Structure 1
Amino acid sequence: MSVTPKTSPERTGPAAEPPTLRRATLGTSDIVFFVVSAAAPLTVMAGVAPLAIVLGGIGAPAGYLIAGITLAVFAVGFTTMSRHVRNGGAFYAYIAQGLGKPAGIGAALLAMVGYNGMEIGVYGLLGSATAETAEALWGVHIPWLPVSLAGLLIIWYGGFRSIEFGAKLLGVLLVAETGILVLLAGGVLIKGGANGLSAASFAPGNVLVPGTAVVLAFAFTAFTGFESTAIYRREARDPGRTIRRATYIAVAFLGLFYAFVVWTVIQAFGDDEVVKAATDDTGGLFFAAITTYVGGWAADLMHILIVTSILASLLAFHNAINRYGLALAEEGVLPKTFARIHRRHRSPYVVGIAQSVLGLAVVLAFALAGADPYTQLLLWVNTPGGIGLMALQLLAAIAVPFYFRRVTHTEGVLRTVVAPTVAAVLLAAAIWLVASKIDVFTGASSTVNTILLAIVPATFLIGLGLARRLRRSRPEVYARFGAEPEQPDAEPEPGQPAGPAAVPAPADPAQ
C-alpha cells in the first residue's frame, strides 16, 4: 500500500505578503507614554533641576514654563503639517517637503545621529545611576559596564517585541516615576513647606535674572523626544487627530509638571534656603526633600525608580530610532535589509539589532578608553545629540511656511506662517543659549566642547553631500525621497479623504 506524502499548499494571499507595522494600534495615551518616557521626568528632576536652582535661583520653575510655551508654539505648525505629510520619516520628510530634498537628506542623517546620541549616551547614565543606587541602598559596589551591557540587551528585547508591549511597559514605568514626584509634591503641600507656600518663584524680579539663561538651556533639553509623536503615525489610531493630541498633551504635561515639581522642592526648603541646600548637596536635594516630607522609604524607592526611569527613556528612544531607520530603509537610503519587519511582533527588528550593535560598540569604546560613564559617555554623547534634535526642530519650523506656500490647503495663516515663524525665532535663541552654555552641560575643555558643537553642522553638511551623490548615482532613490507612502493612513479623519489633505504644487526641478 503506497502512501502519498502530504504537501503543504503554496502560501498565497495576505499570509504570503511581507509583514508590516501594526496599523491602528496606538491611541493617544500610548504615544504620550512613549514621548514623555523619552524625556525621563524623574531623572531630569532629581538629576538636573537642582543644578538649575543653583544657577538660576528660585525663578527656575518659570524657565520650564517658558520652554514649554516655546515648544507649544512650535507644535502648532508641526502638528498642522503632520496632517498633510504622512511619511513615517516625520522631521526629515517635513523638511524635505518644505526646504527641498538636499535639506531633507541632511536632516535625516542629523536625526539618526541625534536620536542615537540621546540613547547611547544614556547607557552610561544607566550604569552610573545603578551603581549609585546599589551603593546607597545596600552598600554594594557594582561596576557600571556590566549594567550598561545588560541594559543594551533589555532595550533590544523591548524594541524587538510588539509596539503594544512597549506601550504597556512604558505606561507602567511612567506612572511609577511620575507618581513618586507627585508623592513628594503632595507631602510638601500638605505640610505647607518649610516656611509656608510662596509664589515668589514666578515674580519677574526672580525670573529676569542672569542665571535664567542657564535655566532655559537646561529646560529646553528636558523636553527632548516630545516631537517623536509623528514617528508613530503608521501605528496610530486615527493618526490625523491622535498625533496632534499626543503632541500637545506631552508638551503641556512636561511644561506644567516640571515647573510644579521644581516649585514644590523650592517650597520644601524655603525661598531663602533652597539655593544653599542645592549647592551643598546638588545630587541629594530631592532625596533629602522626600525623606523629610514623606519618609526614608520613599527616598529608597526614588533611587530605584530613577533606574527604571532611565530604562524607560532608553526604550522610548530605541523605538524612535528603529522607526526612523525603517523609514530610511524604505526610502532606499539605508540598506533594504533594515526594512524587514518581524512577522509575529511586527517590529523593525533588523534595524533594532543594528542600533543595539552600534550602542554596544560605542559603550565598549568608552569603557576601553577608561572614560567615566557619566561625565564622558553620557555628557559627551548626549550633548551633540540634544543640540542636533533642537536643530531639527528649527529646520522643521522653517519648513512649515515654505511647504504651505507650495500646496493648496485650507489651513489658517496663524498655523502655517505666524506660529512656525515665531517658533523658529525662539528655537534659534534656545539653540544659541545651549551652545553658549555648553561648558555647563559637559564640564569639558574648550577643545572638546568645540568638537561636540561641530558635530551637528558637520553631520548636516555630510548629509548635503550624500544628497548630491544620491542625485547623481541613484536618481530614482533621490526622486522619491520624502514622498508620500504608497499606503494611506489606516483610519483617515472623519470626512477627510484617505489621501493627503493638501495637493502639492509641481515639483521644483531645483530640488
Structure 2
Amino acid sequence: MGVTHILFFVIAAAAPLTAIVGAAPLAYSIGNGAGAPMGYVIAGLIYLLFSVGFTAMSRHVGSAGAFYAFVSKGLGSRWALAAGAMTLLTYYAIQIAIYAFFGIVIAGLLEPLGLPLPWWAAALICVILVDLCGRRQIEFSGWILGICMLCEIVVLMVLNLLILAQGGPEGISATSFLPSVGFSAGIGVSLLFAVASFLGFEATVIFAEEAKRPRRTIPMATYLAVICITLFYAFSAWCMVIAYGPSNIRDAATADSSDLFVNTAHALGGSLLSTTMSALLVTSLFACILSFHNTISRYLFAGGREAVLPKALAQVHPHFGSTHTANRVQSLSVALIIGLCALFRIDPYATVYSFMAALSALGVLSVQILVGISILRYFARTPHDTTLWQRVIAPVAALIGLVIVLLLALSNLPMLTGATNVAVILLLPAAVIGTGLMGWGYAVYLSRRDPARYDALGTSFLSIAGASHD
C-alpha cells in the first residue's frame, strides 16, 4: 500500500461524518459551547507531538501488532502482552459500539418504510459484508474506505460552504479560537470527544509490513492523517458555530442534539442535501467498522505469529494475501457478541453503545500512555540517529497531554456512560486494568513454563529499517 491507502484507513476509522454529526453537538451542549472547535485543535497538537516519537521509532519497529510491538521493544514482553490484551479489548469495544449504532440507524431508516428490522439483524448483515471485504486484498478495503470517506467529506464541505456563504446571525468570526472561549468551562468534555475522533491512529504503523517504502510512507501517512483530521474537524465544528452564532450554539445544540447537522443541512441546502447526509451516515459507519475490522484482524494475526494466540491466526490467504483466518475469527466473535446482546435484550444504545464507547476511550488512552513511555525508554537505550526533540521533548509533551485526557475521561465517566451507579461505572476501568493484568499474567506464565517461547516474543517483528523493499 502507498500513502493514499493508509491515509484512507486512518481517516475512515475516524469516521468524519459520524464523528462530527454525532459528537460535535454534545461538545456544544455539555462541553465548552462555542469553544468546542478548540478541542479538536488541542487534540491534534497532542497527536502531532505523539507522532514525532511514534514515527521515529516506527523506523526500527515494524509489525502488524503496532502498539504491541512498540511496547515490546520499549518495556519488554510482559508489558507488551498487557498492552496487546488492552488494545484488543479497546478495538473490540469500539467495533461493537459502532455495530450497535449501525443497527440502530438502519432500523430507524427502514421503519417508516414498513420494513421492521431488529437492530441486531442489521448488525449481523453488516458483519457478513465486512467479512467479505476483509477477506480480499487490503487494497480492496482501502478503495472502499476511500470512496466512503471522500463522499462524507464532500457533503460536509458543501454544508460548511453554504454556512459561510450565508454568514450566520452574528457574522463570521474567530471567536471559537479565542483563549477566553476555547479554554472556558467544559473544555475537558469537548477534548474527550475530540480525542475520540483520532481513534484508530495507529493504523499507519499496523500496515507497515504491507506498505511501499515504509520508512517514507508511514511517517508521511501519520502526519497527513493527524493534520487532515484536525483541520477538517475543527473547520466543520467552527462552521456550525457560525451557522447559529457563538452566543446561540449551545442552546441550539441542546434543543436538537441528534439532528443538528441534518436539520441545518435541510434548512440551507434542502431535502437533497439532508437526505444525502443521512444516507452517507450509513456508509460512514460501515467504513468505520471495516477499518477497525482490518485493524483487529492484524492484531490477531500478529498474536498468532508470536504464538501467544493460536498459530492458525497467522495464516495468509494463498490468493488475496490477506489475513483471512484472523479475519474470519474476528467476524465470528463479533457475531457471537451481537447475538448474546440480542438474546438477553440488552439496549443497543443506552447500554451497548454508550458503555462500549466509554470502555474504548479508557482503553486506547491507557495503551497510548504505555506506548509513550516505551518510546522514551527505547530511545534512552538506543538513541540511533534521532534528535533530542524526537526522542525526549515531543514524547514527554505528548505523554503529559495523554495523561491529562485520561484523567478527564475518568472524571467524566458518569457523563460518558449515562450511568449513576458507582459500582457499574467502576466496571469500565476495572475491565481495562483486569485485561492488562491477564496479559501480564500470561507473560509470567510463559516465562516460567515455556522460557524458550517467552524469549522468542518480539523476534518475529520486521525491522522496517532493514526491509528489502525500503
Q: Normalising by the residue count of structure 1, what TM-score does the alignment of the two structures yield?
A: 0.89
Cα deviation digits, residues 257-306 of structure 1 (max 9, x gap): 11100110111112222211111110010011111222211111111111
Whether 1:154 aligns to 2:129 is: yes
Pick one of 370, 373, 379 that aligns with 2:354. 379
- Taking a change above 3 Å as real, the CA distance of residues 140 and 197 of structure 1, as seen in their structure-2 partners, is farther
For residues 155-198 of structure 1, the C-alpha deviation after alignment (integer angstroms, 9 at most, x for no partner) is 11111111111011111000011111111101111222233212
- SS of 1:344's equivalent? coil
Q: 1:212 to 1:139 in 2, by over 3 A?
A: farther
- Which residue identity is paired with 1:247? T
CA distance in 2, matches of 1:198, 1:114: 39
Residue in structure 1 matched with residue 326 of structure 2 by the alignment: 351
Q: CA deviation at 1:116?
A: 1.2
2:375 corresponds to which residue? 400
1:188 to 147, 163, 167: 163
The alignment status of 1:66 with 2:42, answered yes or no, reads yes
Report how far residue 86 of structure 1 moved. Answer: 2.1
Distance 1:362 1:413 in 2: 46
Counterpart of 1:92?
A: 68
Structure 1 CA distance for aligned equivalents of residues 264 and 168 of structure 2: 10
What is the rounded CA distance, in whole Å, between the counterparts of 1:121 and 1:272 in structure 2?
Answer: 33
Which of 202, 206, 217 does residue 231 from structure 1 map onto?
206
Residues 82-137 of structure 1, C-alpha deviations (whole Å, 9 max, x = no match): 0111233211111111112110111111111111111122110100112233357x
Distance in 2 (CA, whole Å) between partners of 1:336 and 1:92 is: 17
C-alpha separation in 1, matches of 2:334 and 2:134: 14
Distance 1:175 1:47 in 2: 18
- 1:240 corresponds to which of 211, 215, 220: 215
Superposed, which structure 2 residues align to 1:2-401 within 5 Å?
A: 26-55=1-30, 56-135=32-111, 138=113, 141-401=116-376
SS at 1:48's partner residue? helix
Identity of aligned residues (%): 37
| Alignment match, 2:434 | 458
Distance (whole Å) between structure 2 residues aligned to residue 473 and residue 453 of structure 1: 30
The CA distance in 2 between the partners of 1:408 and 1:313, in whole Å, is 36
1:152 CA displacement: 0.7
Could you tell me which residue of structure 2 aligns to residue 478 of structure 1? 454
Aligned residues: 466
Any gaps of 5 or more consecutive residues in structure 1? 1-25, 493-511
Q: Deviations over 1:361-400 (max 9, x none)?
A: 1111111121121221122223212321111111111111
Residue 485 of structure 1, CA deviation: 3.4
Question: Aligned in 2, Cα 1:47/1:263: closer, same or farther, shift over 3 Å?
Answer: same
2:259 is matched by which residue type in structure 1? G
Q: What is the CA–CA distance in structure 2 between the aligned matches of 1:211 and 1:69, rounded to whole Å? A: 19
2:466 paired with 1:491? no
Computing the radius of gyration from Cα coordinates, the structure with the larger value is 1
Aligned equivalent of 1:502: none
* Corresponding letter in the other structure for 2:310: P
Contact 1:117–1:381 (8 Å) recurs in 2: yes
Q: For the Cα contact (< 8 Å) 2:62–2:462, is it kept in 1?
A: no
- Once the two structures are superposed, residues 298-330 of structure 1 have per-residue CA deviations (whole angstroms, 9 ceiling, x without a partner) of 111111111110000000000011111111111
In terms of fraction of residues, the more helix-rich structure is 2
Q: Distance in 2 between matches of 1:247 and 1:213?
A: 25
Shift of 1:410: 1.3
Counterpart of 1:40, as a letter, is: A
- Following the alignment from structure 1 to structure 2, what is the Cα–Cα distance between the partners of residues 31 and 198? 35
What SS is found at the alignment partner of 1:294? helix
Is the contact between residue 238 and residue 490 of structure 1 (CA under 8 Å) also seen in structure 2?
Answer: no
SS in 1 for 2:202: helix
Q: 1:139 to 1:441 in 2, by over 3 A?
A: farther
3-state SS of paired residue (1:226): coil
